[in-house]
């Protein structure tokens, strides 16, 4: 399962990079949407010129019996 982060110019560390700024927070800085919801919004409203969606995977974390799913917002560097 993938989720999409709503693209905002303020989320990137530079103008020509896809690297996200450090310490972004869900809510004030971005929103997580299931791919189906993202596709619905894009079909309805379209995508801004020169913008790209930021896709991130949902990963399983923790150890048994405390496993949970989380969005990997920052990829391993």
Assign residue 38 the CATH number of its domain. Answer: 3.30.2230.10
pLDDT at 4 over 70: no
pTM of this structure: 0.63
Domain count for the chain: 1
Q: Choose the most confident range, by mean pLDDT, from 6-10, 11-15, 56-60.
A: 56-60
Question: Counting Cβ atoms within 10 Å, is residue 30 exposed (0-12), middle (13-18) or buried (19+)?
Answer: buried
pLDDT at 14 over 60: yes
> Residue 76: inside a domain, yes or no?
no
Range(s) of the domain holding residue 43: 2-71
Q: What is the pLDDT of residues 25-65, one digit of tens each?
A: 888 878 888 889 888 988 998 887 777 777 888 889 898 88
For position 9, what pLDDT does the model report? 59
């Amino acid at each position: 399962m993938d989720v999409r982060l709503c693209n905002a110019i303020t989320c990137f560390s530079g103008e020509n990079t896809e690297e996200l700024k450090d310490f972004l927070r869900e809510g004030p800085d971005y929103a997580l949407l299931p791919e189906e919801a993202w596709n619905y919004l894009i079909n309805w409203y379209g995508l801004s010129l020169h913008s790209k969606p930021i896709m991130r995977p949902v990963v399983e974390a923790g150890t048994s019996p405390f496993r949970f799913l989380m969005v990997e917002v920052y990829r391993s560097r």
